[in-house]
Amino acid sequence: MIAETFASPQDVEQAFYKAFERADLTAMMAVWAEEDDIVCVHPGGARHSGMVEVRESWRQIFAQGPGLQFHLVGNRVFSGRMLSIHSVYEHVTVAGETRPANPVLATNIYLLTDRGWRMLMHHASPLAAPAASKESPPSVLH
């Protein structure tokens, strides 16, 4: 597979979540910059850095197969010339579950490399209290 060249941070972000949904390890690793400095933090987890650790973390997650669907909400973007910083709420639907999972808050950082834009950092963290609680009356259909 020839690595795709992403023309914008948005293209990388789209490819990242598509690879995540498909549990496609090759496609996932193709979005990352080939840098020792890449950093990946899964919700509640420790830091993975460098290609070997980051790849292994995704391999373990994808071993369960596909089954997640992502809907990004509240995107905030700060764009520099070489770096683009995105803050997004990931609303995740898990296959076979009717209730949405608690949202996850992610900081995604993209770097302009000589092979186009790539992901430099993904830092995802769980929300302790469901942000949607006010919008979800507790006793409808349950």
The alpha helices in 1-142, defined as continuous H runs, are: 9-22, 25-30, 50-62
Closest distance between a copy of itself and the C-beta of residue 12, in Å? 16
Contacting residue, 43, 51, 101, 113, with a copy of itself by CB under 8 A: 43
Residues of span 68-127 touching a copy of itself by CB under 8 A: 74, 76, 78, 80-83, 85, 87, 89, 105, 107, 109, 120-121, 123-127
By CB neighbour count within 10 A (0-12 exposed, 13-18 middle, 19+ buried), where does 8 fall?
middle
Nearer to a copy of itself, 101 or 131 (CB): 131
Contacting residue, 5, 7, 45, 94, with a copy of itself by CB under 8 A: 45
